[in-house]
Amino acid sequence: CRVRNYKFNVVFKNSTKLCSTKPIVTVNGKFPGPTLYAREDDTVLVKVVNHVKYNVSVHWHGVRQLRTGWADGPAYITQCPIQPGQNYIYNFTLTGQRGTLLWHAHILWLRSTVHGALVILPKRGVPYPFPAPQKEVVVVLAEWWKSDTEAVINQALQSGIAPNVSDAHTINGHPGPVPACPSQKGYTLPVESGKTYLLRIVNAALNEELFFKIAGHKLTVVEVDATYVKPFKTETILVAPGQTTNVLLTTDQNSGKYLVAASTFMDSPIAVDNLTATATLHYSGTLSSTPTNVTKMPLINATQVANGFINSLKSLNSKKFPATVPLKIDHHLLFTVGLGVNPCPTCKAGNGSRVVASINNVTFVMPTTALLQAHFFNISGVYTTDFPANPPITFNFSGAGPTNMQTTNGTKVYRLAYNSTVQLVMQDTGMIAPENHPVHLHGFNFFQVGRGLGNYNATTDPKNFNLVDPVERNTIGVPTGGWVAIRFRADNPGVWFLHCHLEVHTTWGLKMAFLVDNGKGPNQSLLPPPKDLPKC
């Protein structure tokens, strides 16, 4: 195993899109940021130097961070942010992980432009469990706002209403020609006929789940969230923010230009962001200037297309890569996720109320000391351990909601013994309106054992759980007006964030944390913090 050294200079850079220019926060002046390459079991050292006016922190989304929570990155959860002019070395090992993940800023809305791919190759000499591709390509999907994204969210928080939706989606940094700027060129992927390409597709968008499609070509899905799946062919893939999907693309045409597109999936849109980013798959030797082969994207509310894709995902579950689904469960948890409203006398646009979000009616309040520090150094008064295991009030997925949509504020964590097993059912409540929530758990992979519409039934639904080859991932969509059941083993001591990866919902409070105690054996404790851990 090797040590890989990277340096991330966080700097402002002017960027022109949609025919207008604005300064954005970047890593090393790039949008998307640099791809980080490593192999399974390598150690990665990333020195992040903050040259901007904002506090910064970086998260390695999906990296397990076994016993190294100090390198996880969410501001005020595992570390205090890196202040302007300061730096911090993220030091972690990619134990037993290979595939595509992403890294992104984990503070404010800086993730909108501070993000990139993390490619973990198998150990040297170890083949993929699928036909070897001739070439690999990283495809980062994201969003673009004409205004400054910090201004967008600040204005929303002051008014109490939803922030503006983005002005474009991007594929490797480019929206492609759009009505607002028809002359703008899109990303081009040059290919040769008769080859196999591995596309490592990352959704780094703040608030949009995306459909992705290439005209005239089928895609073979081989991996999601850095875990191998049973390969299957599809025309359309669905990637939620924080998720990654690896597909094999066989260039089985002779020539031509084919449209590549990414468009929104949102089956109960409150604020509609019905945009499509386009790029071009360009067979070598083709002269025509625009793609002649276009594709029809699914509608924004194409729930069936989304469900069809999600239901096709199964763990590879081979001898080498078994699905280790916990069968005996210590903690049965039921969390409602959804939006609500709280009083806000100063919120004029919201008529005296503001939109909030919650889990089990708790709107999470960010502490000013990092939870992991408070835990490690026994600092009291930072959090409480009374996060409810079950919903405190009755709910209904149908959208009617309880009459009382108010939530309570708190910095509450749920405590787990080392190596205990958890079944967590997450239920969309539709307190304001039902909505799909891509929920991410830090520090673990989990298995999606069940998923359904309507209210979860604790007696009948578990009978249909897949405990054999459920897909394993780190970010999962709670379906609109439905539920999803996941299982994981709490084998990673530390404090681990769980939150909706739609950034607007995280901002509104759809987040909580698990506190996993140390075990008693060797190598079962959280390591001490590094010396350069930022101070608050």
In the chain, the amino acid numbered 267 is D
Does position 364 interact with ligand C2O (CB under 6 A)? The reply is no
Does position 59 interact with ligand C2O (CB under 6 A)? The reply is yes
Tell me phi and psi for residue 112, to 5 degrees.
-55, -35
Does position 106 interact with ligand C2O (CB under 6 A)? The reply is yes
Among 67, 440, 487, 505, binds ligand C2O (CB under 6 A): 440
How many CB atoms are closer than 10 A to CB 4? Answer: 15
> From the DSSP assignment, how many helices (H) and strands (E) are in the chain?
4, 32
CB of 499 to ligand C2O, least distance (A): 6
List all residues 6 or more positions away from 525 whose beta carbon is below 8 Å from its beta carbon. 67, 493, 518, 519
Does position 212 interact with ligand C2O (CB under 6 A)? The reply is no
CB of 58 to ligand C2O, least distance (A): 10
* Segment lying near ligand C2O (by CB under 6 A), choices 127-135, 378-386, 414-422, 494-502: 494-502
Shorter beta-carbon distance to ligand C2O: residue 119 or 316: 119
Nearest to 306, CA basis, from 234, 258, 251, 363: 234
List all residues 6 or more positions away from 328 whose beta carbon is below 8 Å from its beta carbon. 421
> What is the C-alpha separation between 185 and 277, in angstroms, rounded?
11
Among 32, 69, 74, 175, binds ligand C2O (CB under 6 A): 74
Q: How far is CA 282 from the centre of its chain?
A: 29
Among 98, 174, 200, 442, binds ligand C2O (CB under 6 A): 442
Footprint of ligand C2O on residues 219-248 (CB under 6 A)?
242
Shorter beta-carbon distance to ligand C2O: residue 64 or 499: 499
List all residues 6 or more positions away from 79 whose beta carbon is below 8 Å from its beta carbon. 57, 70, 72, 73, 88, 370, 372, 373, 533, 534
CB of 18 to ligand C2O, least distance (A): 26
Tell me if 369 sits within 8 A of 536, measured CB to CB: yes
| Strands 99-105 and 115-121, bridge-based pairing | antiparallel
Among 211, 483, 497, 508, binds ligand C2O (CB under 6 A): 497
CB of 59 to ligand C2O, least distance (A): 5
CB of 348 to ligand C2O, least distance (A): 32
C-alpha separations of 504 from 144, 210, 244 in Å: 15, 16, 20
* Segment lying near ligand C2O (by CB under 6 A), choices 370-378, 487-495, 496-504, 521-529: 496-504
Among 17, 61, 354, 473, binds ligand C2O (CB under 6 A): 61
Question: Starting from the edge strand earliest in sequence, which strands make up the sheet with 87-93, in order?
Answer: 20-27, 3-17, 43-50, 87-93
* Segment lying near ligand C2O (by CB under 6 A), choices 143-151, 195-203, 243-251, 495-503: 495-503
Which string of x and - marks every residue 127-166 that binds ligand C2O (by CB under 6 A)?
----------------------------------------
Which string of x and - marks every residue 500-519 that binds ligand C2O (by CB under 6 A)?
-x------------------
Output the residue with the shortest Cβ distance to ligand C2O. 61
For residue 160, what is the DSSP state? Answer: T
Does position 487 interact with ligand C2O (CB under 6 A)? The reply is no
3-state secondary structure (DSSP) of residue 153: helix
Length of the chain measured in residues: 536
Shorter beta-carbon distance to ligand C2O: residue 139 or 502: 502
Q: Which residues sit at the interface with ligand C2O, rule CB under 6 A?
A: 59, 61, 74, 104, 106, 242, 440, 442, 497, 499, 501
